[in-house]
Copies of this chain bind each other. A is one copy, B any other.
Amino acid sequence: MRLDLAYHGSAFSGFQVQPDKLTVQGALEGALATLLAEPVVIYGAGRTDAGVHAKHMVCHFTLPRAFILGDLLRALNALTPKELLIFDAREVPWEFHARYSPHRKFYRYGFDTGRHPDPFDLELRYHAPGPPPDDAVMQGVLLGISGTHDFASFTTSKNSSRTTVRTLEARLEREDERRFAIVLVGNGFLHNMVRIIAGSVLSAGRGTLRPAVIFGALDRPDARGELGETLPAHGLCLERIEYF
């Protein structure tokens, strides 16, 4: 059974289940346990950190008995917090795995360089007041890191992936004079990778980090210290997942 979800990250301590904390996986597993009177394990397409939003996350689980899909969807939404919306439930072939079936993820990191933040965007966009960054430099960095590289320096020691080689497409969207978004599309992302890329791109745009230093950190495992800071979680959103 596949579920398609959206959630406001501010309400959750991340996706992955943790004792005594409200997590997306925990809320779903709790609702399913209530509904089915037996424990069920949810597998997500990835683990978003505390505060990270998702407009589209996918997970799967094995339903131990038949259910009318509409009833399942209504019951899960009724039994989970309103900051989590389960918008689709469908049966999938047995070999479908939310994480290992081939897919592309679309991430978006939004930031605002204006002096004061927009009151309607406080939880959804990182506020980075300061000089307007150079679009062309930011776009250039994103093009330069696009492709297949070893991103070992673009992650944390918490990363547990077997390989740190990833393929991605990256681009900048300028929303208005002060608002920007970094859009990354790829088949997989390392822990904190998008937030480290966003911090490095913003620093490059402001002239405090040379693009050559960022490119030099590709395919080298020991260059985390040369890159920009990890930007805060609330600017990040998992926008979409496509399965092939």
A interface residues with partner B (beta carbon < 8 Å): 6-8, 11, 53, 55, 74, 77, 82-87, 115-120, 122, 124
Q: Could you tell me the distance between the alpha carbons of A12 and B83 in the complex, rounded to whole angstroms?
A: 21
In this complex, the member of A8, A116, A118 whose beta carbon has the largest number of chain B beta carbons within 10 angstroms is A116
Q: Which residues of B contact A117 (CB under 8 A)?
A: 82, 85
Q: Could you tell me the distance between the alpha carbons of A11 and B120 in the complex, rounded to whole angstroms?
A: 11
Q: Is the CB of A85 within 8 A of B6?
A: no
Q: Which residues of B contact A86 (CB under 8 A)?
A: 116
Q: Which residues of B contact A85 (CB under 8 A)?
A: 116-119
Q: Is the CB of A115 within 8 A of B83?
A: no
Asked, given contacts A74-B115, A115-B74, whether A55 binds B120 with beta carbons under 8 Å apart, the answer is yes
Q: Is the CB of B82 within 8 A of A8?
A: no
Q: Could you tell me the distance between the alpha carbons of A120 and B110 in the complex, rounded to whole angstroms?
A: 15
- CB-nearest residue of chain B relative to A8? B119
Q: Is the CB of B115 within 8 A of A82?
A: no
Q: Which residues of B contact A8 (CB under 8 A)?
A: 119-120, 122
A191 to chain B, nearest CB (A): 24
**Extra pairs beyond A8-B122, A85-B118 (16, CB < 8 Å):** A6-B118, A6-B119, A6-B120, A8-B120, A55-B120, A77-B115, A82-B117, A82-B119, A82-B122, A83-B119, A83-B122, A84-B119, A85-B116, A85-B119, A87-B116, A120-B124
